[in-house]
Structure 1
C-alpha cells in the first residue's frame, strides 16, 4: 500500500500541516525540519497527489491542451513547444483530441474541469461561444495558439495568415508565374481558410494577375485533400504553372498528384506550401514553404499561460514572424 502524507508526518515526527508546507514551499518551518520531512518522503517513497496539493495551494500544476487533430505533424510541433516550456516550470500537460469540427470539445472541457487544471491552451479551431462560456465557468485562464477570437481577454499567439499567404503568392508571381492556383481551406473558416485566401487574392490583384474562382480549391488541410484538389485542378485547367497550397500536407499531396500525372515539379509545376513541417524537408523534391515557427508558438503560448496563472494578470496577444523557406519546388515557368 502506498504511503500517505500522514505516514510521512509520523516518520518525521511533525504535523501533517508542516509536511504540506514543505511540499508546497511555504514558510513556517526550520531547515532541520525540512530535511527530516524530505528524508521521510525518500524512505517511504511517498508520491504527493496533485489534487491533494491543490487543496492547499488551489493549484494542480497541470495544463490542458486542446487540439482538433493530435496526431497531425502540425499539432505535434506546437505540443512539443508547449510541453517543453510547461515542464521547465514543473507543470504537467493533459492533451485532448477534440476531433474534426470540435465534436468532442465540450466533453473534454468537462474532463479538464474535473481534473481541476490550472489553465487551458486552445489550438487551431474556432473558439465558439459555448466553449468560451464553459471556460469562463471553470475560472481558468486561456491562451489560444494558431487561432484567435473576438474575446479581448483571451490572448493568442499566431502568425499573420493574410500576410504570409500574400508573401507566398507574391514570391510565385515574382518568379514569373501568371496562372497561379491555390489549394486552401474553406472560405467559411475564419482562422486559416478565409485570411489565407484573401491574402492570396490580394497579391494577385496587386500584380495585375487574373483571379479566378476555379483556381481556388478547398483541400481540407490534408494530404488526401491536396491530391484530390490537384487532380481536379489539372484536369480542368491546362495552363496552371504554379500552386500555392495553404498547408504543407496539401502541398505534398499536390506534388504526389503531379507525379502520378507525369508532371514534373518544379519544371512544369511550381508548388509552395505553408507551415514548414518536418515533412517539407522530407518531400521529393524538398518543399519550398512559408514557415510559421510552430514550436516557438507553443512555447510562447505556454509561457503566457503560466504567467497568467501565477500572477493573475492578463497577457498580450502576439503575432509571430513568418519566413519564406526556399527549397526546390519553385522555379520560373518554362
Structure 2
C-alpha cells in the first residue's frame, strides 16, 4: 500500500499539516522536525503527488524553451544542457518552435502560458519591440540564450559574436591569408549576423587589408547557404579567396562539399574555418577548424540562472561566455 502523509505524521509524531509543509518546502518548522519527517518519508518510500503540489503552490516546476525552426545541429547540445540542469533541480522542460522570423512566436508564448510554465528560455530568437511588449504582458520571466533583446531589456547568456568573428578572421590572417570570404551570414540578424560582419570587417582593417564586399555572402547559417556561396565563388574567378570564414559549421560543410565536387582540396586549395564547434565538426575528414561556443555549458548556465531567479525572486543577470578557437585540419598556412 502506498504511504500517505497521515502515515508519516503518525510515525513522526507531528501533525499532517507540518508534514505537508516539510514535504512542500513551505517553511514554518524547526530543522530537526524537517530531518525527522524526511527520514520517515524515505523509510516508508513515500512519493508525493507533484500535480497536487503544483495546484497548492500554483507552480508547475516547469520551464519552457522557445526556439526557431532552423536546420542547424547545435540546438541539441543547448537543449541537453538546459534539460540536464533543470531535471537536477526538479524541473521539467517543454519545447516549442517560434518558426522562421518568429512567425509563431506569439502562439508559442501563449502555449507556454497555457501550460503554466514558471519561466522561459528563448534560444536564438531575434526579438522586435512589439515582441517585448507581448513578453512583458505574460508576467513570466524570460531569459535569452544566444540572443539579445533591443536595448538589452531581457537577460541573456551568449558569446561575444563580434569578438569571436574578429578572432577567427585574425587567425586566418595570421596563417597568411589575405583574401578571405565571409559566408552564410544574415545581414538582417542584429544578434549574430551584424556583429560577425563587423568583427570580420574590423579584423581586415586592423591588418591593413581592403574590405571587398563581394566576398561577403549572405545566407541563413545552413549547409545550403555554404553550397550556394561556394558555387558562386567558383563561377566568379576574379573573387577566388584563399580562405573562407563560414558563420556556422553547417555552412562550412556546405562550402567543403562543393569544393570536393569541384576537385578542390581542403585545406591545400582553400582553408575553411567554421563557427560553433557542433558535433559534426569533428566527424568530417579533415576535421573542421572552428570557433567553439560552449553550447552544453551555455544551456546549463541559462537553466541555472532562470531557476535561481525563480527560487529567489531576484533579477536575472546577463552573462557573456568565452569562446575558443579550435584548430583541426581545414586551415593551413600560405
The alignment's TM-score, normalised by the length of structure 2, stands at 0.88
Residue 102 to residue 153, structure 1, CA distance change in 2 (3 Å): closer
Look up the match of 2:163: 163
Q: Which residue of 1 aligns with 2:85?
A: 85
Mapping for residues 16-165 of structure 1, pairs under 5 Å: 20-27=20-27, 42=46, 48-50=49-51, 52-69=52-69, 72-165=72-165
Offset at residue 137 of structure 1 (A): 2.0
Supply the RMSD in Å over aligned alpha carbons: 2.5
Show the counterpart of 1:300: 301
Structure 2 match to 1:186: 186
The answer to whether the 8 A contact 2:129-2:150 is kept is: no
The CA deviation at 1:207 is 1.0
Corresponding residue number in structure 1 for 2:233: 233
Return the alpha-carbon distance in structure 1 between the equivalents of residues 219 and 150 of structure 2.
26
- Cα shift at 1:34: 6.4
Q: Structure 2: how far apart are the matches of 1:307 and 1:117? A: 15
Offset of residue 179 of structure 1 = 1.2
Structure 1 stretches of 5 or more lacking a match? none
State which drifts further: 106-115 or 63-72. 63-72
- How far does residue 307 in structure 1 lie from its aligned partner after superposition? 1.2
Instruction: Return the offset for 1:229.
Output: 1.3
The DSSP-based 3-state class of the residue aligned with 1:65 is strand
Distance in 2 (alpha carbons) for counterparts of 1:188 and 1:33: 58
Question: Is the contact made by 1:184 and 1:193 (CA closer than 8 Å) also made in structure 2?
Answer: no
Encode CA deviations 1:224-257: one digit per residue, 9 max, x unaligned: 1111111112211353111000110000111111
Residue in 2 that maps onto 1:289: 290
What is the aligned residue count? 324
CA distance 1:19–1:137, change in 2 (3 Å): farther
Measured at CA, do residues 154 and 211 of structure 1 come closer, stay the same or move farther in structure 2, by a change above 3 Å?
A: same
Is this contact kept in 2: 1:234–1:240, CA < 8 A?
Answer: no
SS at match of 1:73: coil
Partner of 2:219: 219
Aligned equivalents of 2:54 and 2:130: distance in 1?
A: 27
| Bigger Cα displacement from structure 2, 13-22 vs 300-309 | 13-22
2:262 matches 1:254:
no
- The alpha-carbon deviation at position 53 of structure 1 amounts to 2.2
Q: 2 CA distance for matches of 1:222 and 1:190?
A: 18
User: 1-side partners of 2:91 and 2:215: how far apart?
Assistant: 47
Q: Point out the more displaced range, 321-330 or 206-215.
A: 206-215
- Within 2, Cα distance between the matches of 1:149 and 1:237? 41
C-alpha distance in 2 between matches for 1:11 and 1:22? 14
In 2, Cα distance between equivalents of 1:41 and 1:212: 69
Q: Cα distance 1:230–1:16, how it changes in 2: closer, same or farther (>3 A)?
A: farther
SS at match of 1:332: coil
Native 8 Å contact 1:184 1:197 kept in 2: no
Distance 1:328 1:13, change over 3 A: closer
CA contact (8 A) 1:217 1:229 kept: yes
Return the TM-score normalized by structure 1.
Answer: 0.88
Using the TM superposition, give the Cα deviation of residue 64 of structure 1 relative to its aligned residue in structure 2, in angstroms: 0.5
CA contact (8 A) 1:169 1:244 kept: yes
SS in structure 1 at match of 2:74? helix
Displacement of 1:304: 0.8
Map of 2:319 onto structure 1: 318
Distance 1:17 1:108, change over 3 A: farther
Counterpart of 1:263 in structure 2 is: 264
2:204 counterpart residue number:
204
Match of 2:176 in 1: 176
Question: Once the two structures are superposed, what CA deviation does each residue of 1:139-163 show, in whole Å capped at 9, x if it has no partner?
Answer: 1211111011135452111111011
